[in-house]
Structure 1
Amino acid sequence: MNLKEMLNLADRIVFEKTGQHLDDLQAAVLRGTLQRETYKQIAKDFDCSESRIREIGSELWQILSEELGEDVSKSNFRSTMERLQNSNALNFANNVSSIFNICGQARYPPELPNSQPPNQETSNSTQTNTLHQDLSEMPELGDFYDRTSSLDTLTNWILQQNSRLITLTGISGIGKTTLAVQLVQQIKHEFEYTAWYTLDEFPTIDKFQSNLTQLFSNSQKQDSSPTNQKPLPLIKYLQNHRCLIILDDVHNLFCSGEFAGKYKPECEEYRTLFKQIEKLSHQSCLMLIGWEQPREVTQVKNQNTSIRTLQLKGLDIAAGREILRDCGLEESDNSEALIHRYQGNPLWLKSVATLIQELGGCVNQLLPNDIILLPEDLKDVLQQQFSRLSELEKQVISLLAKASDAINLTQLLENSQIPASDLVNALQSLSRRCLIEQQANFYTISPVLRQYATIRLGG
């Protein structure tokens, strides 16, 4: 759904509520919102006061909220329009369009003279192959830094190799969700059904099944299928239709204080679903995004094309420099060292760059001699992952934090009283959480994690 289509749809909703089309200033506010501009930027572009723009925005959000029966705001306007277009509410939008047929000629939002009513040929052509989408929980695509190789890999796995189950993992802030959003935007039209769901702290399968079943049921009603049929098991829908389903924050399925990937008792049914998706023949793909992945997924070798795992690493120097520029830092001799120190992690770089910028913007003065800054917001992010660790994993992290260089298994055993079998299991779990790095037989942790572990765990 492009910008013009969203503005057209918003115009029809406003007309239905007020009997008036969007005026130039209202259209400018909505257009600026869709282009992720602030009220201040919109006001500057339209040469009026910021307070006036805020007032118009507030009026528009109230009109849209009342007409749609849900809370619409500047932050969720885009996602609301996309969901409206791709749900049963589309019927409402098409019904509203009949008003324009009665009037003879439609007046569409300002600066959109070439837009056409939805009953004309261009709209009909897009409705020939009906696509059903529930992307209301998918975040908006923010700044997307170069992930071309990873994007190509995922696209190939899904569209060419027909992989059924894909896990996208990586440490917090590395860009998993951003990459997945970009992927969905590019390939969603290849699927009859596309859905994105974010798992909260209590991710029972009932809610997930209910959301998906509702999506399938709504589309069947739109397609004039019998309405008295009982919902099918989820795997049946995935076999009968080509679907792309994204589950974000999948680590919420697993226990804290245990090794990675152990299901919470109330989430065991997900294990059965994942096994069905892997083993049974179907034409769909399920992607899992999170800090951890199911243990059964990690046991599968990469040559099995039905199930794949991609662990995201940090961005390269060029992309890292772009992040620093976007955060207001000027180029310096220490910029490359800063990017290496924070391992090209987009969130980590943005956090420390913001701190440096607010303190005067001089990288060389604030980060001499390999000093690691840990802004409070970065500590909060790391705490979320560290709070999930088992006691054995915390002990191993502390040992790695004390070591100045990479350390092998023999040295770890000598420096601890952890039984060998427990130590190996802890290392495996930490690796699956993307918290340690391994080169040959040696293990280490990043400078950022070493600094945090020293503070948090007394390493």
Structure 2
Amino acid sequence: MNLDEVLKLADALVFAKTGQHLDDLQQAIARGTLQGKKYSEIAQEKHCNESYVRDVGAKLWKTLSKELEEEVTKFNFRSTMERLQISIVSHLEPHHNQISNVNICGEARHPPDIPNQNRENQATSNPKPTPNFHHDLSEMPNLGRFYNRTAELDRLKTSILTEKVQLLTITGIIGMGKTALGIKLVEEIKTEFEYVIWCSLESCPTVAQFQTNLTDFFTEWGNHTSRLPLMKSLQNHRCLIILDDINYLFRRGELAGQYQPNYEDYRNFFKQIKDRSHQSCFLLIGWEAPREIVQLKHPNTPNLILTGLDTASAHQIIAEQGLQPEENGSRFINHYQGNPLWLKTVANFMVELGLTVTQVLQNQPLLFPQDLKDILQQPLAYLSEPEKQLLSLLTKEDEPIALVKLLEIAPMPSSDLLDILQSLCRRCWIEKTAHLYRMSPVLRQYLG
């Protein structure tokens, strides 16, 4: 793919729609997207605010979408342009040495000096079908390598496509691959929905802002003469809406699921999505789920708590980092809970230092590089002081501990202890099996 040719094609499409060429920032966004760069990288290169780059990018994708009458996003821009190039080459007649009449997806496109009547006649003779899907996946990360999550994927598909759940969550400790699972799910079921929208809540939009953005999207693509209420759009259309990074809505230093100031309205919004009748589905992804969702077990609001990968997939991860497989590798994998990000981080660290699994297992405690500490610092910042106090007690326990013993040694009232335990379990800092509680070796080592 010739980068300059693709940029010229994008510029021609924008000019055909708006009468204006790509400006400097639009060119940088298009070029950076083709090169696989993130908005943050483009913003740094152009010395401007990332949110501004996102806004300009969103408008650019919308303009291209309108001109091509198909959904164009940051995620599919490269593949769309490649397909258009192929279409152009295949439709150009042999005697055309210059691109004066380009046929894209069956419709003739002329430069501005060609009479409009000719364009209309050719467009009439080559009508394009009305697209059925309106997917905005511009904020969805690239999937990269996906590892075996067949059971989890099947469970989510059943909940969404067969059981028609309206609200569900994927939670788990940082690094487990929650977002990757969500991306794979979207890739496999997006054609079942008329509207698919991926939204990261890292920028923390208020619920009013979020609802306005959704309403604008439905109005833009629904050809409505007037704006419909959001719930009406969710009732009229089959929509899949993914909210990633929901943990950014919650307070730091408090028990799990307590909203930041000015974000409490999300509580009522999620309750409406869960309780009202509509044909759409919201998928929430993050370190923890809203309290109003997980506090009551209900078949219409399932919560998938993601745990470690199977041993074979975990072996594949560390091998891809350049770490040689060894017979006792399973013990190494179990220490890091089969967590994909943790394993990648430690394996890469070992390869850089020339260490083997056997050498590492001979040392206790196991490796805990600074990169892994930095990763865990993110969710640790959300824990309350009582939670940290209880975790500090648990780091001294080599074996799982019963609730009775916890009540004996914990320096807090029993009612407070139970609330703290619940919060830590919801945040996946503590594992509960039967009537016993334990911390993973990595978290014990981190806090010890």
Q: Deviations over 1:63-102 (max 9, x none)?
A: 9874946623112499x9x9799744223346998xx99x
Q: Equivalents in 2 of 1:371, 1:397: separation in Å?
A: 18
Which of 428, 431, 446 is 1:434 aligned to? 428
Which residue of the partner structure matches residue 240 of structure 2? 244
TM-score (norm 1): 0.76
Q: Structure 2 counterpart of 1:75, which letter?
A: G
Match of residue 214 from structure 1: 216
1:342 maps to what in 2?
Answer: 336
* Kept after mapping to 2: 8 A contact 1:86/1:133: no
Report the AA paired with residue 89 of structure 1: L
Give the structure 2 partner of residue 262 of structure 1.
258
Q: Of residues 106, 117, 121 in structure 2, which corresponds to 1:119?
A: 106
Match of 1:186 among 181, 185, 188: 188
Shift of 1:190: 0.8
- 94 and 288 in structure 1: CA distance in 2 versus 1, 3 angstrom threshold: closer
Q: Which runs of 5 or more structure 2 residues have no equivalent in the other structure?
A: 14-20, 40-53, 71-80, 95-102, 108-125
Match of 2:324 in 1: 330
**Runs of 4+ in structure 1 over 4 Å off:** 7-13, 16-19, 63-70, 82-86, 94-97, 124-129
Cα distance per residue 1:223-254 (max 9 Å; x no partner)? 4x42xx2x333222211211100001101111
Q: Classify the secondary structure of the residue corresponding to 2:180.
A: helix
- CA offsets 1:358-384 (integer angstroms, 9 cap, x no match): 010412113314432122121111111
Unaligned runs of 5+ in 1: 1-6, 20-62, 108-115, 455-459
Deviation, structure 1 residue 393: 0.7
Residue 275 in 1 paired to residue 271 in 2? yes
Per-residue deviation, 1:436: 0.5
For the pair 1:288 / 2:275, whether they are aligned, the reply is no
Between the aligned partners of 1:213 and 1:94, the Cα distance in structure 2 is: 20
Contact persistence 1:87–1:134 (CA under 8 A): no
Deviation at 1:142, TM superposition (A): 1.3
Secondary structure in 1 matching 2:350 = helix
Aligned to 1:31: none
Instruction: Give the counterpart letter for 1:117 in structure 2.
Output: I
Structure 2 CA distance for aligned equivalents of residues 424 and 398 of structure 1: 16
Aligned to 1:55: none
TM-aligned CA deviation for residue 218 of structure 1 = 1.5
Which residue number in structure 1 is paired with residue 371 of structure 2? 377
TM-score of the superposed pair, with normalisation by structure 2: 0.78
CA distance in 2, matches of 1:10, 1:284: 41
Letter in 1 for 2:92: Q
Length, aligned pairs only: 384
Q: Paired residue for 1:311, among 305, 308, 312?
A: 305
Aligned pairs (5 A) from 1:222-233: 223=223, 225-226=224-225, 229=226, 231-233=227-229
Distance in 2 of aligned mates of 1:16 and 1:153: 40
- Which stretch shows the higher mean deviation, 345-354 or 10-19? 10-19
**Partner of 2:92 in structure 1?**
105
Q: Using a 3 Å threshold, how does the CA distance of structure 1 residues 10 and 271 change in structure 2: closer, same or farther? A: farther
Q: Secondary structure at the match of 1:200?
A: coil
Verify the 8 A CA contact 1:168 1:287 in the aligned structure 2: yes
For the structure 1 residues 371 and 67, does the alpha-carbon distance in structure 2 shift closer, same or farther, using more than 3 Å as the test?
closer
Tell me what 1:200 maps to: 202
Change in CA separation of 1:167 and 1:89 when aligned onto 2, cut-off 3 Å: same
Compared CA separation, residues 154 and 362, structure 1 to 2 (3 A): same
Change (3 A) 1:69 1:233: farther
Separation of aligned partners in 2, 1:128 and 1:288: 31
The letter for the 1-side match of 2:65 is L
Of residues 151, 154, 162 in structure 2, which corresponds to 1:160?
A: 162
Q: Relative to structure 1, is the Cα distance of residues 125 and 422 closer, same or farther in structure 2, using a 3 angstrom cutoff? A: farther
Which amino acid in the other structure matches residue 92 of structure 1?
E
